[in-house]
Amino acid sequence: MACLISYPKRTGNFRGGFVNSFQNWYKTHESEILEEYFQFLRFPTVGTKSKHHQDMQDCAKWLISRLESMGFKAEKWDFPHGQPSVFGEYIVDPSLPTILFYQHYDVQPEDPVNLWQTPAFEPTVRNGKVYARGAEDNKGQCHYTLTAIKAFLHHKEATKCNIKILIDGEEESGSTSLMKHGHLYKDRLKADHLLIVDMGIGTFEAPHVCIGCRGIVSLEAEVVVSNIDMHSGEHGGIAANPIHVLAKALSSIHDENGQVVIEGFYDHVKSLSEDEKKQFDLAFDSSSYQKEFGVRLFAQKGVHPKEANMLRPVLEVNGMWGGYTEEGFKTVLPAKASCKISCRLVPGQDPQRIFTLVKDFLRKKIPQEVELNVKEHGHGLAYRASTKSSLAESVKRAYEKTFGKPCLFYTSGGSIPVATTLIQLSGAECVFPGVGFIDNNIHAPNEWFGLDQHKKGFEMVCAILEDISSLQ
């Protein structure tokens, strides 16, 4: 579900880095590591489809067995009307710092199936890339994390921390069960550091560490003008057209400079100082971005593109429909029109307040005699760690050790709604490491993850564990 914000073009594989016993361990066990990774990918864990209920259960059982083989005390957390989460803990000494890893094993649907070059749940390696649904998001990143922990525990002399891991079965659908029932496991989730390994790196040549993500509130609005669709010739010019009504209201949300005009939308936004911004990677290659995605840039006047994406709130219309949209033509004046809207938020903003502001704005812009129905689809708070937190500094050192390059910070334009819940329950500081690339096709056909990414992710997690342990 996470959005990988990394616009500079990737130019190749970094061949430097540190050579140590962890790298040698990976090389020695590489064939079994990859076979286990492929086993993980073969589970069709689309948690939102009822036909995959048993697949979710089977995968959770498989994860428990892997954790137990590593010496973890592991268990499955079942929830009413939801998919299970897997939890494991390896406690060395309660007086030592505790690291909590968060991952997820559920994946997005593989649709449209016909666009996959090879079956989505049969991992295929082509040119050093593993193609499969979940190859990156999040099974690839979850698996290299598990592998790194296994290697780290193998080197007993390095283990000067306690390790917990929570593997969610509902991240792609908003982690509803953990959000609702997580408080029941508050004592189990207590930790000093929280690592949500579900983000991107930028490039191997210019790595950056994610220390936050935007919040979100999503909603659906429906405009109704009549009981049934009507003949556009007989009724056109007399009855209101709901698509016109809704389109006019939506078009009034932004001004000519791209700013949201809803009163109060930008209230309470916690901005960064110019000195703080210097710690963030704001590099943006507009030519490469346009070439990569074939897109027309949308520029907010006076706002840097990466700042607009990472550090400022936005409102986007994600879909709009009404009337006849199938093949051919049908001259109707539709009875209703609908749209979906998402607002990506930053620290200081209250998602439920923003929902009310958007709903009230639409009500003012749509004629009172027209019926308007608005419902919320979910929300989550934004989070941004301090660049000077002990965990952020540890992860930064680990990145620089792994990639042999200076490292900056960034915050994701995407959202992980459960993040703030886990931060509150665990009482931990949080960072969002990961080695995803923006072109890994997550949530799309032909998702892939490089074998080099898997290996570097493994080294990165080992380096984080090594750094935190070295401070004891």
Instruction: Please tell me the pTM assigned to this model.
Output: 0.86
Number of domains in the chain: 2
Dihedral over alpha carbons 428, 391, 141, 175 (to 10 degrees): 20
Residue 152: name the closest of 468, 465, 471, 467 by CA: 465
Nearest to 422 by CA among 260, 112, 198, 271: 198
Do 245 and 208 sit in the same domain of this protein?
no
CA of 124: how far to CAs of 34, 133, 220, 420, in Å?
A: 12, 11, 38, 36
- What is the CATH number for 457? 3.40.630.10
Which among 395, 355, 391 is positioned nearest to 376, based on CA atoms? 355
The conformational region for residue 81 under phi > 0 = left, psi -120 to 50 = alpha, else beta, is left
CATH of the domain at 350: 3.30.70.360
Q: Note whether residue 191 is domain-resident.
A: yes
Residue 280 lies in a domain: no
Same domain, 84 and 168: yes
DSSP 19-58: --HHHHHHHHTHHHHHHHHHHHHHS---TT-GGGHHHHHH
Burial zone of 15 (CB within 10 Å; 0-12 exposed, 13-18 middle, 19+ buried): exposed
Shared domain check, 35 and 180: yes
Query: Is 178 inside any structural domain?
Result: yes
Residues 225 and 180 reside in one and the same domain = no
In-domain check, residue 281: no
Residues 184 and 250 grouped into a single domain: no
Last residue of a domain, which of 379, 413, 435?
379
Q: Using alpha carbons only, give the angle 429, 278, 289 rounded to the nearest 5 degrees.
A: 95
Question: Do 79 and 153 belong to one domain?
Answer: yes
What is the rounded distance in angstroms from the CA atom of residue 451 to the CA atom of residue 11?
A: 16
Q: Is the preceding omega at residue 162 within 30 degrees of 0, hence cis?
A: no
Stated length of the chain = 472
Same domain, 163 and 243: no
Cα(464)–Cα(23) distance, integer angstroms: 14
User: Is residue 275 assigned to a domain?
Assistant: no
Same domain, 353 and 428: no
399 shares its domain with 446: yes
Q: What is the pLDDT tens value at each position of the chain, 472 positions in all?
A: 444 433 333 333 333 334 478 999 999 999 999 999 999 999 999 999 999 999 999 999 999 999 999 999 999 999 999 999 999 999 999 999 999 999 999 999 999 999 999 999 999 999 999 999 999 999 999 999 999 999 999 987 778 999 999 999 999 998 999 999 999 999 999 999 999 999 999 899 999 999 999 999 999 999 999 999 999 999 999 999 999 999 999 999 999 999 999 999 999 998 888 888 888 988 888 888 888 888 888 778 888 888 899 899 999 999 999 999 999 999 999 999 999 999 999 999 999 999 999 999 999 999 999 999 999 998 989 999 999 999 999 999 999 999 999 999 999 998 888 999 999 999 999 999 999 998 999 999 999 999 999 999 999 999 999 999 988 7
Q: What would the two tokens of residue 220 be? A: 């659906």
Question: Which of 379, 402, 419 represents a domain boundary (last residue)?
Answer: 379
In a domain, 45, yes or no: yes
Q: Domain of residue 405: give its range.
A: 21-213+382-470
> Is 2 within a domain?
no
For 53, residues 6+ apart whose C-beta sits below 8 A from its C-beta are none
Q: How far apart are CA 265 and CA 379, in angstroms?
A: 16
CA distance 43 to 52: 9
Same domain? For 360 and 414 the reply is no
Domain end call among 345, 379, 413: 379
Q: Is residue 284 part of a domain?
A: no
Domain shared by 403 and 370, yes or no: no
Both 364 and 412 in a single domain?
no
